[in-house]
Amino acid sequence: MIKVEASFVQRMFSVQDKVALVTGATGALGGAVAKAFAILGAKVVLTGRDADKLAKVKDELASGNLACEFAAGDPASEADALRIVEFAATTFGRLDVLAVCHGFNKPKDILEQSVEEWQAIMDADLKSVYVISKLSAAQMVRQNSGGKIIITSSARSKMGMKGYTGYCASKGGCDLMVQSMACDLAPHGINVNSVNPTVFRSDLTEWMFDKESAVYQNFLKRLPIGRLGEVEDFVGLYAFLASKASDFLTGGNYDATGGYWGN
């Protein structure tokens, strides 16, 4: 007899009524993930450092009758992160999902980049991930009903690049931190995974999508899928990792590189 319950299959991809905290919610990826969660029925708390931008994202989601609130703050600040997590839990009664979608880079050759600039990258892309994940996990443990932590890493976490000594180091550390956090939090029913995307379209990367440019052509040589990423290419993976369908998956660094890692 095939042991698959119809009731499980019918709701295995659901995030209905889950409470999801999304960092970097004013960015292209974070905004898309937040909207996708909300459309799927989750109650979403948007966060980022710019309150005015967050208010605009909230207004956009609320105009579609989507459940969302926002709390501004710096995820690298323990005080801010604690306030944001407590806001999510107080506003919607609990916290089920953390999606970390913020990030920062300032590419420079190691001989030109100051130690302060390198540290700023590490604080934004590694320390902040640790802080917001730690405090979100603590809230989930108090609830005693499991949870999901999904962290945005990068294709660059496993492949170095000129001018990326800070960024590659932070993302490589992020992948290992995901694997380690997964071990710590598994006894509490909390799954921890990362999504590792290639370049995707945003205000900052739009210039790279000129199909006639040497930059675009060079990227295509390394992407078997034949194009750069769009935010729509990634939101399904976040939804999957937030749902019960991924309950047996933890400590994974999920390739969303268009084949770059395997090329």
Catalytic option among 130, 164, 167, 260: 167
CA separation, residue 205 to residues 27, 45, 202, 229 (Å): 12, 26, 5, 11
Residues 6+ apart with CB under 8 A from 151: 100, 129, 133, 174, 178, 192, 193, 194, 195
Measured on CA atoms in the order 123, 79, 87, 51, is the torsion positive or negative?
A: negative
How many Cα neighbours within 13 Å face the side chain of 19?
21
Q: Which two tokens stand for residue 32?
A: 């898309």
Is 167 annotated in the active site?
yes
The catalytic residues are 167
